[in-house]
Amino acid sequence: MELSAVDLSQVPGHVACVMDGNGRWAERRGLKRTDGHAAGEEALFDAVHGALELGIEWLTVYAFSTENWRRPVDEVRYLMRFNESLLLRRVDELDDLGVRVRFVGRRDWRVPKRLIDRMDSSIDKTAGNSELTLTIAFNYGGRAEIVDSVRRLVAEGAGPDDITEAAISRHLYDPEMPEVDLMVRTSGEFRISNFLLWELAYSELVFVDTLWPDFRRQHLADAVAEFQRRTRRFGGLSG
Ligand code: IPE
Ligand code: IPE
Ligand code: MG
């Protein structure tokens, strides 16, 4: 990989990707939209290798949103089976790479039990790994996550003064997940689409035209290089 543009001592700790453009990638080739989802698997694994090479510690990918249930039932069913099969086929490889797999999202009745079981076995199998935490956002919505956090707080008996930013953060789906430093969205769309709303508060946003199935580690390195050219101020003054 061409890493020359990246300063390996200033790599973002947490990179989040909106893996978008699978359908358009397929349509441009006269293929079915679902073929685009299948082609996204290679992009995901190349991005994982890139994250490992760059020393990124947290990589979070948006695989299925709470709004994606609006898609045709066949596409939704395909995505459920595809994600189950991907975990079944490739969790050993992730484990060998030292990747710790986690999930964020709602585990409601619409997510097939077999997929939930596969998620749990992937979490358990890779729990001891520490090279990279790969979090898959599945049936995930940023608003739902904040609502679920506040609900849990209230269920624990929290009163108005207990509802603080720190308390909400501690009750998010994965309290250990650090805030996002860099968010990359593929396919030329300039929006967040309900991804990690809380965690993105001060992240740098990079939008690329590449469709997700064409995304490779070099694109990740380029996004990190772009991140390193930005000045983060967090509301203060730089320098
Ligand atoms: C992203 O690709 C994958 C999911 C949302 C599951 P899309 O399926 O949204 O592809 P486009 O945006 O229609 O091209
Ligand atoms: C966001 O992409 C969700 C995932 C990549 C899983 P969408 O394709 O669903 O987003 P919109 O509909 O273009 O905003
Ligand atoms: Mg899309």
What is the pLDDT at residue 1? 52
Span 40-97, pLDDT tens digits: 999 999 999 999 999 999 999 999 999 999 999 999 999 999 999 999 999 999 999 9
Helix (H, G, I), strand (E, B) or coil at 137: strand
In angstroms, rounded to a whole number, what is the distance separating the alpha carbons of residues 235 and 128? Answer: 37
User: Does the annotation count 129 as an active-site position?
Assistant: no
Average pLDDT, the chain: 97
Residue 62 φ/ψ, nearest 5 degrees: -90, 110
Domains parsed from the chain with CATH numbers: 14-141+182-228 (3.40.1180.10)
User: Does the annotation count 20 as an active-site position?
Assistant: yes
What is the pLDDT at residue 2? 59
Ligand 2 centroid from CA 141, angstroms? 11
For residue 238, name the pLDDT band (cuts at 50, 70, 90).
confident
Cβ–ligand 2 contact at 43 (below 6 Å): no
Catalytic residue among 68, 129, 148, 214: 68
Span 117-176, pLDDT tens digits: 999 999 999 999 999 999 999 999 999 999 999 999 999 999 999 999 999 999 999 999
pTM of the model: 0.97
Helix (H, G, I), strand (E, B) or coil at 228: helix
Ligand 3 centroid from CA 214, angstroms? 14
What is the pLDDT at residue 4? 63
Element (H, E) at 18: strand 14-18
Q: Please list every protein residue whose CB sits less than 6 Å from any atom of ligand 1.
A: 19-24, 64, 68, 79, 187
